Amino acid sequence: MGEDPIIQAIKRDIEELLAAKRAADPGLFAAANSGVNNQGILEEFRWALEQAAGLATVDINRVPVRSMRPVWGPIITLFKRAIRKSTYWLYQPLFQQITAYNKAVVDFLNKVALRMEKVATHTPLEEKLEALLAQLSLKIEAVEKAFEQWEAKLKESLSAVASDKADLQREVVEAKQRVQDALIELTSLRRLVEDYRAEAAFMRAKLALALQYQRTGKWPVARKEGPEETLRSLQDLEDTTWFYHAFEQQFRGSEELIKERQRAYISEVRKAYETCGGYVLDLGAGRGEFLELCREADISAKGVDLNEAVVFRCREKGLEVERADAIAYLQSLPDESLCAVTAYQLVEHLTPQELWRLVQTVLVKLRPGGVVILETVNPHSLAALQNFYLDLTHQRPIPAPTLRFLLEAAGFRRVDVRFSSPVPEDLRLKGDDPSIVRLNELLFGFQDYAVVGWR
């Protein structure tokens, strides 16, 4: 270990002072050795002592901490400063001891200077300085040993800090892994809870249907094969069948228009069909627009409708449609036999009790991964609501939050509401003002919406 910079500076100042004095005034030392006034040299010496006194205090914050590495230099410097600050308390007693020792050396040198003043006429100046330098050398050796001990302890502390840092990093990695494992386990448990909830909803729906059968005394029977077989005797609708078919042709819209609107739901039905197999059942199939879409997509599908005229129209198209009550037909099917159940413009024809029974029955008949799509008139739009009772068979409009709640309460998951059939732009109010936009939403919003739920 080299000499301390402070002590080197003191020695260098004293040696430079002596050399300068010799070169400037060779007779000065002769006069001092012969007892002549040497007050100037003593003043210079005292000035050097004052400089040493100012540097006597050891402060770790004075030690420069930096790194010359071009990329990691700032990060290494911050890390070294953090280590210096965090370990200062460990070496504070040593720094205080070194500071006290340095101050004692300065005090001793001050006393030597005072003594030199008293014996200046008896001791040659060079001898005094040589003696002073000898004593100073002894002090330097002591300081060097102290700094060597401090350096060894500092290296040991830094090694311990590095070891602690490695242990801490390893613990952090292990903790992150434990957290990751816990999150994976939590996700698995959450999925398991959702499955249990879905199974509980499924069993609850089956129990509700069984209680309904017991209360009414009407138990479902297996559907017999044959186009003329029905689940129960149908009401005599011969007087109204033609009327409702004509009404649908007038107000429902063309088959091409309805088919294009319903095309938006084919992707969900295809996903369910590819996931769980089975087939699609379209309740209230009407003129068979959605069944045609399924046929074009190579998806197995059947339909059911009470109206004899539309059933005949579907069969003309080569579609598999039976004339029967939708809920009764659905109840007759084996449990978990369908991949999808769709009903376009049907639920508004049902009473609340029939609607709830329909939702529960659909849940029981769908396979896991199956989907239900129920489309109806959007009562949030006044343009759609004003036409709601054009159909005399409508019971009541159903708000979207209500129908969504029914599906969620029955046990369906990922229930979504989708709006469709926008009002033509030429009928809407013109302008981008927020009030105009709000009025358009209330008066001329989407005419239909559908809830989509998954088993």
Average pLDDT over residues 275-286: 94
More confident residue, 239 or 386: 386
How large is the average pLDDT for residues 204-210?
71
Domain boundaries, the chain: 5-179, 238-454
pLDDT at 238: 45
453 by DSSP, 3-state: which?
A: strand
Cα distance between residue 346 and residue 237, in whole Å? 17
DSSP string, 408-430: HHHT-EEEEEEEE-PPPGGGSPP
Percent of the chain at pLDDT > 90 equals 31
Q: Give the DSSP letter string of 306-374.
A: S-HHHHHHHHHTT--EEES-HHHHHHHSPTT-EEEEEEES-GGGS-HHHHHHHHHHHHHHEEEEEEEEE
Q: What separation in angstroms does the CA of 326 have from each of 84, 128, 134, 381, 401?
A: 81, 123, 116, 28, 24
Return the pLDDT at 66.
62
Average pLDDT of every residue of the chain: 77
Q: CA–CA separation, 359 vs 405, rounded Å?
A: 11
Q: Say yes or no to pLDDT of 352 above 80.
A: yes
**245: CB partners within 8 A, 6+ apart:** 307, 309, 310, 313
Instruction: Indicate the pLDDT class of residue 23, thresholds 50, 70 and 90.
Output: low
Question: What mean pLDDT is predicted for residues 426-446?
Answer: 78
Taking CB atoms within 8 Å and a gap of at least 24, the contacts of 263-266 are 263/293, 264/418, 264/420, 265/290, 265/342, 265/373, 265/450, 265/452, 266/293, 266/294, 266/297, 266/299
Question: C-alpha distances in angstroms, 56 versus 10, 61, 101, 123, 208?
Answer: 11, 14, 9, 29, 93
Statement: residue 141 has pLDDT above 90: no
Residues in contact with 242: Cβ distance below 8 Å, sequence separation at least 6, in sequence order: 309
Q: Which residue has the tokens 């005072």?
A: 114
pLDDT band at 324 (very low <50, low <70, confident <90, very high): very high
Report pLDDT digits (tens) over 209-244: 776 666 666 666 555 554 444 443 344 444 455 445
Mean pLDDT of 286-310: 93
First to last CA, the chain: 79
Alpha carbons 342 and 295: distance in angstroms, whole number: 15
Please provide residue 446's backbone torsions phi and psi, each rounded to the nearest 5 degrees: -60, 140
Q: What is the arithmetic mean of pLDDT over 46-62?
A: 64
Of the listed ranges 25-29, 156-160, 376-380, 409-413, the least confidently predicted one is: 25-29
Q: What's the mean pLDDT in 55-61?
A: 61
Name the nearest CA neighbour of 40 among 24, 57, 61, 63.
Answer: 24
Contact 231, 325 (CB under 8 A): yes
pLDDT of residue 18: 63
> What confidence category does residue 342 fall into, taking pLDDT thresholds of 50, 70 and 90?
very high
Architecture, CATH, for domain 238-454: 3-Layer(aba) Sandwich (3.40)
Compute the average pLDDT of residues 304-328: 92
Looking at residue 152, what DSSP letter applies? Answer: H
pLDDT at position 120 over 60: no
pLDDT classification of 35: cutoffs 50, 70, 90:
very low
330 pLDDT higher than 90 = yes
What is the identity of the amino acid at 30?
A: A
Least confident range from 15-19, 286-290, 333-337: namely 15-19
Among 35-44, 241-250, 352-361, 374-383, which is the least confidently predicted range?
241-250
Average pLDDT over residues 16-33: 58
Q: Where are the alpha helices (DSSP H) in 4-72?
A: 5-24, 26-33, 39-54
The token pair that represents 199 in the structure block: 């199974």
Mean pLDDT of 372-390: 86
Q: In which band, very low, low, confident or very high, does the pLDDT at 75 lie, cut at 50, 70 and 90? A: confident
Return the structure tokens found at 301.
Answer: 């599908």
Report the 10 Å Cβ neighbour count for 139.
19
| pLDDT higher than threshold 50 for residue 27 | yes
Confidence at residue 219, expressed as pLDDT on a 0 to 100 scale: 60
Pairing of strands 279-283, 301-305: parallel
Asked if residue 455 lies in contact with residue 370, where contact means CB atoms within 8 angstroms, the answer is: yes
CA distance 160 to 86: 12
Q: Which residue from 200, 7, 204 is spatially nearest to 109, judged by alpha carbons?
A: 7
**Res 272: pLDDT:** 96
Average pLDDT over residues 114-121: 62
